[in-house]
């Protein structure tokens, strides 16, 4: 009955129905309706091969969020938004043990320090939960204090490490500016030298050569015997002869050396005497055996 009424109604209102049908969307081919799980050499792979073997422990997840048991405890405490001094050791111990069991169930290798901390928490929890004797004269120290001190110290060091890590670091936030020098190629034209240029250069060289003269200076040879004769002639003319006056600067260093050798040779032969009237005074020479009194009387 409804079909006939609905059909007559459509005829009464004409060829248009009361509600417009939804637009037809083009359907994708059946090969494109499934999602590809991988692409090999550009081709889509939609299902796993039947002979593919996946071992049970093929996927391993490594969690490195906690750097030790204290870091884990600090995370559990901060997650509850409570102060470290007001920590509930019993509740934190249960959460810590649950995390340890979860890691062991997931076949994660835990360090020995995690198990040591678990034993320490269990001991603190047992000391808190066990009843204390009423006859105790001295109050026992809070078993949580040692753990709280370690947590506070670890929190300070962790905060300092985070502050240091926030500083700009080379090759992380900072980069060294490296720029090479541009390569500039210059083309230098070859000089054009003519015959007139060579003749002018040769004439200039000849003019420069005329300004210089070469002299060959040869030193006159001075013998010790000649110098002794010269000294004797000087001493015969004067009674006292200063040593400085016997040194001729024109003869150079060689003449000074020969003069001293001649004086020492004359002293060894007892031909001259050295006289000095005052300390640090001038040195004089005179002939040996020549007395001043006899010469004055003569």
Whether this prediction's pTM lies above 0.75 is answered by no
User: Lowest-confidence range among 57-71, 119-133, 211-225?
Assistant: 57-71
Q: Are residues 153 and 237 in the same domain?
A: no
User: pLDDT averaged over the chain?
Assistant: 75
Question: pLDDT exceeding 70 applies to what percent of the chain?
Answer: 72
Q: Are residues 152 and 239 in the same domain?
A: no
Does position 137 have pLDDT exceeding 60, yes or no?
A: no
For residue 155, being part of any structural domain is answered with yes
Does position 168 have pLDDT exceeding 80, yes or no?
A: yes
Q: Are residues 75 and 155 in the same domain?
A: yes
Burial of 71 (0-12, 13-18, 19+ CB in 10 A): middle
For residue 279, being part of any structural domain is answered with yes
Q: State which residues form the domain around 117.
A: 69-130+143-164
Q: Where do runs of H (alpha helix) occur along the chain?
A: 2-12, 30-33, 69-79, 89-105, 112-129, 145-166, 195-210, 224-237, 252-268, 292-297
CA dihedral 144, 150, 152, 154 (to 10 degrees): -150
What's the confidence (pLDDT) of residue 153?
92
Contact assessment for residue 76 and residue 95, using Cβ atoms and an 8 Å cutoff: yes
The listed range with the strongest mean pLDDT (34-38, 117-121, 197-201) is: 117-121
CA torsion through residues 228, 234, 237, 241, sign: negative
pLDDT tens, position by position, 140-152: 677 788 888 888 9
At residue 224, what are phi and psi to the nearest 5 degrees?
-70, -35
CATH code assigned at 250: 1.10.10.580
Cβ within 8 Å of residue 256, ≥6 positions away:
247
Q: Residue written as tokens 């890691």?
A: 103
Measured CA to CA in angstroms, residue 156 lies from 71, 80, 182, 228, 281 at distances of: 12, 19, 51, 98, 86
Does position 120 have pLDDT exceeding 70, yes or no?
A: yes
Strand partners, 285: 241, 274
What's the confidence (pLDDT) of residue 1?
37
Q: What is the number of other CB atoms lying within 10 angstroms of the CB of residue 93? A: 22
What's the confidence (pLDDT) of residue 45?
81
Does position 225 have pLDDT exceeding 50, yes or no?
A: yes
Residue 106: DSSP 8-state: T
Interhelix angle for 89-105 vs 69-79, to 10°?
Answer: 120
For residue 231, being part of any structural domain is answered with yes
For residue 287, being part of any structural domain is answered with yes
The pLDDT of 7-20, averaged and rounded, is: 41
Cα separation, 216 vs 283, whole angstroms:
38
The two structure tokens encoding residue 43? 């081709």
Taking each continuous run of H as one helix and of E as one strand, the counts in the chain are 10, 5
Residue 54: DSSP 8-state: -
Question: pLDDT exceeding 90 applies to what percent of the chain?
Answer: 3
Q: Are residues 73 and 157 in the same domain?
A: yes
For residue 269, being part of any structural domain is answered with yes
pLDDT tens, position by position, 254-293: 888 888 888 889 888 888 888 887 777 788 888 887 655 5
| Half-sphere exposure for 66 (CA within 13 Å, toward CB) | 17
For residue 154, being part of any structural domain is answered with yes
Cα separation, 28 vs 246, whole angstroms:
130
For residue 40, being part of any structural domain is answered with no
Q: Domain total for the chain? A: 2
What's the confidence (pLDDT) of residue 220?
67
What's the confidence (pLDDT) of residue 56?
64
Q: What is the number of other CB atoms lying within 10 angstroms of the CB of residue 227? A: 22
For residue 276, being part of any structural domain is answered with yes
Contact assessment for residue 129 and residue 90, using Cβ atoms and an 8 Å cutoff: yes
pLDDT band at 157, cuts 50/70/90? Answer: very high
Residue 45: DSSP 8-state: E
Strand, coil or helix: 287 = strand
Does position 7 have pLDDT exceeding 50, yes or no?
A: no
What's the confidence (pLDDT) of residue 156?
92
């Amino acid at each position: 009955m409804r079909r006939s009424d609905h059909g007559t109604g459509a005829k009464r209102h004409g060829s248009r129905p009361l509600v417009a049908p939804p637009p037809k969307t083009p359907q994708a081919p059946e090969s494109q309706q499934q999602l590809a799980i991988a692409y090999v050499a550009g081709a889509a792979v939609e299902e796993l091969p039947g002979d593919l073997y996946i071992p049970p422990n093929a996927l391993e997840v490594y969690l490195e969020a906690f750097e030790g048991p204290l870091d884990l405890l600090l995370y559990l405490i901060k997650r509850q938004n409570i102060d470290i001094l007001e920590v509930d050791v019993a509740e934190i111990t249960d959460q810590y043990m649950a995390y340890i069991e979860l890691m062991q169930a997931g076949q994660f290798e835990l360090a020995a320090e995690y198990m040591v901390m678990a034993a320490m928490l269990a001991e603190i929890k047992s000391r808190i939960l066990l009843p204390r004797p009423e006859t105790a004269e001295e109050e026992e120290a809070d078993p949580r204090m040692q753990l709280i001190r370690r947590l506070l110290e670890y929190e300070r060091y962790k905060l300092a490490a985070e502050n240091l890590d926030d500083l700009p670091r080379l090759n992380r936030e900072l980069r060294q500016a490296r720029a090479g020098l541009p390569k500039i190629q210059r083309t230098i034209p070859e000089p054009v030298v003519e015959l007139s240029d060579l003749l002018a250069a040769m004439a200039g060289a000849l003019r420069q050569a005329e300004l210089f003269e070469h002299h060959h200076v040869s030193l006159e040879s001075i013998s010790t015997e000649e110098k002794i004769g010269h000294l004797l002639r000087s001493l015969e003319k004067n009674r006292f002869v200063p040593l400085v006056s016997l040194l001729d600067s024109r003869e150079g260093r060689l003449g000074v050396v020969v003069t001293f050798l001649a004086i020492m040779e004359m002293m060894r032969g007892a031909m001259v005497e050295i006289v000095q009237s005052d300390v640090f005074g001038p040195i004089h020479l005179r002939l040996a055996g020549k007395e001043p009194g006899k010469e004055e009387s003569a």
